[in-house]
A and B are shown apart, each in its own frame.
Chain A
Amino acid sequence: MRIQDLRPIDCDMHPVVPNIRALVPFLAKNWAASVNDRGIEGFDSISYPPNAPISARPDWRPDGKGLPTSVEDYRRHVLDRWNVQYAIGNCLYGAHLALSEDIGVAMASAVNDWMVANWLDAEPRMRASIVVAPQNPERAAAEIDRCAPDKRFVQVLLPAMVEAPLGRRQYWPIYAAAERHGLPVGIHAGSSYRHPVTPVGWPSYYVEDYASQSYAFQGQLGSLIAEGVFNKFPGLKVVLLESGVSWLIPFLWRMTKFWRGTRSEVPWVTRPPIEIARDHVRLSIQPFDAPDDPAIVGRIIEHMQSDAMLLFASDYPHFQYEDDAVLPPGLSEDFTRRLAHDNPLETYPRLKEVQS
């Protein structure tokens, strides 16, 4: 069975804002002026240094260098190549980096309007996540309300490291807005760099920075469960994007065991964390942190005890795999069909609302 035969839904690809000038037309007059008058150079995030090997697959870099930024590139490299039915664009432009929430909110709105003009209107198979500035959850909720009427927005997007753990009650307006509009919340690798990227301080190397993303997902999942987000918003789904996947079950075993001893601290958590996660948490399949060994891959999947959690993703243009090896080896046909198509449709109800 070839992935092309399944009409897969690409749940994590990254439209790249080529430079801040591309956003200026979508900024209010004062912010557009600021970009020029203050010489604001941009909000590209150090989470993905443009020339770092992982930031783009060599054969996806235009002329072998830089980042691919056009919808035509993506069509050629992924949409047509793998016969993708829908793709969800998760723009990683760093609105979340801004230390002024006003700038962050302005940038997030500009990114969303730029997404409509440059991607959603340009390619009928494209869908997108609503980028919000986590610096101010009330204003993030307002941005969700502003964008949600366009049903091509299918998710709310947050970075994995922000100012406080995402389960904290200060973030709940975001979840209330997401639930209100039937949108899952995607948490994507990335940081606003308010804290060191490890719990023991700043590491020396970029390879450690990237490795630290999976520590962030552990912390966020722990926070969302412990704070009771899924009690308050029982309809909410959270999608962990570019998390690495294989860390998940060992983390949940540990948390579930510890919860058995400490549940008087969080009396609202009335079910084992691992069960809550199976109901509410989904993960994009790239990268899949395991050797290319079907036996090991099979075991990781088996340990999840669920065929509903994984979602197909190219992670375009990041360099996670070569050629057509977009799926880890050894997945059964049935499981592949679920993750390529059924699970995304269940996770993103809006995909069924607007047919293209």
Chain B
Amino acid sequence: MTDAPAKPIENDGVIDCDIHPAIRSFEDLKPYLSKHWWDYYSTYGLRSRQGFVKGTPYPKIAPSAMRRDAWPETGLPGSDLKLMQTQHLDAHNIQLGVLNPLNPSGGDLNVDFSAALCSATNDWLLETFTRKEKRLKASIMVAYEDGASAAAEIHRRAPEKDFVQVLLLSRTSEPLGKRRYWPIFEAASEHNLPVAVHVFGYSGHPATNSGHPSFYLEEGAAHPAGIQASIASLIFEGVFERYPNFRLLVIEAGFAWLPAFSWRLDKLWNRMRGEVPHVKRPPSEYIKERVWITTQPMEESQRPQQVVEIMDYIGWDRLMFASDYPHWDFDDPKFGLPPSLGAEQRAMVRYRNAQALYGL
């Protein structure tokens, strides 16, 4: 699925599954938008399921949630390819990095505008990054609340080998297994592309099921719950059964919650499978076979070996390193993984699993 050379990655090489490119300003997307949509943007701006014109409902802990040392002379961190190359790709021997744009996302309320923005972002990704830097691959941005236009964008972009996956944000307006999203899974399956779900976005529902928490700290702590709900939905709505080629990649939700969550679902399925006769196997089996998960932000225990034990439950062939560059909670490829990992485990997490998932 890609024409990248299958050169072996050795020693300290890394595939970074989560790098965030940024536009310097919306002018960057103007060349890829029709006059109508540029005028629309200029008049009404972005509108998602939240109330702020600028910024985010939870103020981040640093401006734009960025590392303070990642700001180029002009524009946002992630907007300057040269700085990304020197500060991150070269410095950490990133042999391949996957670009996941977050702003704009595919969650604008006006789904036609959202589709136009996603398509513009996809063009911009190719021209600004992947065609200039062979180490970079990109995600296909889609207006994920509108299955039809999202599927169309996947079909249009899939032949371009610089795209390695489809990207959604985790806070969808409905649980991800619902039928409105099936065209996305169908199109991704057809092209053998994984569907990546990155945390954040605006579902229009509170970040906790007991209402809006007060703090960014809580929003961060709550991300796995949203992902858990969507994995449960994908399983119980039968998406894994319906699309045997469907593969899910979870990004920036950490990973340590996954075994406990799988065990919970297994117990519940066992008890209530009469309600979901289309779900043929224990939930943990779908998860083991079809879900991949990135490491950042890597959970930490006072006793690091405990986290390694959890990684062992998940399976060494399912964890993929991600740095989240250039965000403040960046996991450093040099120090991010527990030091006790064996060479084989290290290699799998740092690049081999990503090679397998992306077919590189």
Which listed residue (B172, B175, B213, B269) contacts A165, Cβ 8 A?
B213
A254 to B298, CA, bound (A): 8
A197 to B211, CA, bound (A): 10
A223 to B209, CA, bound (A): 12
Which listed residue (B218, B225, B256) contacts A253, Cβ 8 A?
B256
* Cβ-defined contact, A218 with B229, below 8 A: no
Chain B residue with minimal CB distance to A263? B217
* Cβ-defined contact, B205 with A226, below 8 A: no
| Residue A220 at the chain B interface, CB threshold 8 Å | yes
* Cβ-defined contact, B220 with A262, below 8 A: yes
Which listed residue (B170, B222, B275) contacts A219, Cβ 8 A?
B222
| Residue B276 at the chain A interface, CB threshold 8 Å | yes
Q: Which of B326-343 contact A (CB under 8 A)?
A: 328-329
A195 to B204, CA, bound (A): 11
Known: A254-B254, A256-B300. A291 touches B263 (CB 8 A): yes
Task: Please tell me which stretch of B17-25, B119-127, B128-136, B303-311 contacts chain A, meaning at least 4 of its Cβ atoms lie within 8 angstroms of it.
Answer: B303-311
| B272 partner residues in chain A, CB cutoff 8 A | 52-54, 206-207, 210
| A249 partner residues in chain B, CB cutoff 8 A | 256, 301, 306
Which listed residue (B233, B257, B297, B298) contacts A251, Cβ 8 A?
B257
A272 to B116, CA, bound (A): 45
A185 to B87, CA, bound (A): 50
Known: A196-B205, A262-B61. A219 touches B213 (CB 8 A): yes
* Cβ-defined contact, A199 with B207, below 8 A: yes
Interface size on B, residues (CB 8 A): 71
| A129 partner residues in chain B, CB cutoff 8 A | none
| Residue A305 at the chain B interface, CB threshold 8 Å | yes
| Residue B243 at the chain A interface, CB threshold 8 Å | no
A residues whose Cβ falls under 8 Å from a Cβ of B: 52-54, 160-168, 191, 194-208, 210-212, 214-216, 218-220, 222-223, 226-227, 244, 246-247, 249-251, 253-259, 261-266, 274, 287, 289-291, 296, 299-300, 302-303, 305, 319
Which listed residue (A160, A204, A208) contacts B210, Cβ 8 A?
A160
* Cβ-defined contact, A257 with B299, below 8 A: yes
Chain A residue with minimal CB distance to B272? A207
- Pull 21 A–B residue pairs with CB atoms less than 8 Å apart, ordered by A: A163-B211, A165-B213, A165-B214, A194-B211, A198-B225, A200-B173, A200-B203, A205-B275, A206-B272, A207-B232, A207-B271, A220-B208, A226-B215, A247-B264, A249-B256, A250-B256, A257-B298, A258-B217, A262-B217, A291-B263, A296-B313
Give 11 A-B pairs besides A200-B174, A253-B254 with Cβ atoms closer than 8 angstroms: A53-B272, A164-B211, A204-B175, A207-B232, A222-B208, A223-B208, A223-B213, A251-B221, A266-B215, A266-B217, A319-B271
| Residue B267 at the chain A interface, CB threshold 8 Å | yes
* Cβ-defined contact, B260 with A290, below 8 A: yes
